[in-house]
């Protein structure tokens, strides 16, 4: 293998740039030609592909977002689109791909490999931390710390005005950000998609806090909860607690930006190197991850189809610490 390419796809995550940097310099270290594909699968189809050098990734390890840009591609979902992408790669002699992204990115990579056989190694870049095959994904730690900083600041306001705050964090299908930022932020309750929390349970928890002389409360809500988003939950709770001053704060895309933490920079760098060396060692159609501090490779089909359960001990910890 002499030529490989790297691209980012789907939602951006802090640390993607650190991973790109690692891929480029690891490839050059192993005397490979390395190409960057801009705008994900769209760029692959359109031929937005350029040769990268060591200086191409200078001064990016600390930056959020992705210098290769990202986009969702409807064309790549079609056979015609994937054929165009294959032709663009073939015309440049590119023999292997490193895909940095999440579930949707790897779903596309798996189909592409099955149709054309180009070896692909995925590096998990998603703040949701929901991919099976790695203890942590690139961007998760930064997103948790961003959410935690916001929760700390909202807590100050909640205490000053004796308010109940429902704080919505990202995680349509995953409660990892909610549970970790909730524990770190001292939340009275955390609502996640993995477990069912009824409105009555929310009301009881808040009433219990009031009975314990708490003057303010924080409820962290993952956006994909069964009872709805934070605004919907607050609206359902309000009639049952008429004396409570209830407010809602949705953190939104602030969690996807910002300078990556040291943890995310190191994780991304390790995964980038492991992705390049995985290709060189014959790995194909796999996701590289870190489990118990060791590099592992998981088949893409398994990584995107097998669920990654939330630690039930963390949910229990919220309940115990909120008394």
Which residues contribute to the annotated binding site for substrate? 126-128, 163, 170-172, 223, 247, 253-256
Binding-site residues for Mg(2+), in ranges, read 103
Q: How far is CA 126 from CA 71, 138, 206, 234, in A?
A: 14, 6, 32, 28
CB distance 296 to 24 below 8 Å: no
Catalytic residue among 128, 130, 141, 264, which?
Answer: 128
Binding-site residues, in ranges, read 11, 21-25, 72-73, 102-105, 126-128, 155, 163, 170-172, 186-188, 214-216, 223, 247, 253-256
Q: Judge whether 128 counts as a catalytic residue.
A: yes
Q: Which backbone phi and psi does 9 adopt, to 5 degrees? A: -150, 160
- Enumerate the active-site residues: 128
């Amino acid at each position: 293998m002499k030529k490989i390419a790297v691209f980012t796809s789907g939602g951006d995550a802090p640390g993607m740039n650190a991973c790109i940097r690692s891929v480029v310099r690891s490839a050059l270290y192993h005397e490979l030609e390395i190409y960057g594909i801009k705008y994900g699968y769209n760029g692959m189809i359109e031929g937005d592909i350029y040769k990268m050098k060591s200086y191409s990734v200078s001064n990016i390890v600390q930056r959020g977002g992705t210098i290769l840009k990202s986009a969702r591609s409807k064309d790549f979902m079609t056979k015609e689109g994937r054929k165009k992408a294959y032709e663009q790669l073939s015309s440049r002699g590119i023999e292997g791909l490193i895909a940095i992204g999440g579930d949707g990115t790897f779903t596309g990579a798996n189909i592409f490999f099955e149709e054309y056989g180009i070896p692909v190694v995925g590096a998990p870049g998603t703040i949701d931390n929901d991919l099976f095959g790695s203890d942590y994904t690139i961007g998760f730690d930064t997103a948790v710390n961003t959410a935690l900083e916001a929760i700390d600041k909202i807590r100050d306001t909640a205490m000053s005005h004796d308010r109940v705050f429902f704080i919505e964090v990202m995680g349509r299908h995953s409660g990892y950000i909610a549970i970790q930022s909730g524990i770190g932020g001292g939340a009275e309750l955390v609502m996640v998609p993995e477990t069912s929390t009824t409105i009555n349970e929310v009301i009881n928890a808040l009433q219990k806090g009031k009975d314990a002389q708490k003057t303010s409360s924080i409820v962290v809500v993952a956006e994909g909860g069964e009872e709805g988003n934070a605004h919907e939950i607050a609206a359902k709770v309000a009639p049952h607690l008429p004396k409570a001053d209830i407010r809602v704060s949705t953190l939104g895309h602030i969690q996807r930006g910002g300078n990556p933490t040291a943890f995310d920079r190191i994780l991304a760098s390790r995964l980038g190197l492991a992705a390049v060396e995985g290709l060189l060692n014959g790995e194909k159609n796999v996701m590289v991850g870190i489990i118990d501090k060791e590099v592992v490779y998981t088949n893409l089909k398994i990584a995107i189809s097998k669920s990654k359960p939330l630690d039930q001990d963390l949910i229990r910890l919220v309940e115990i610490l909120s008394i």
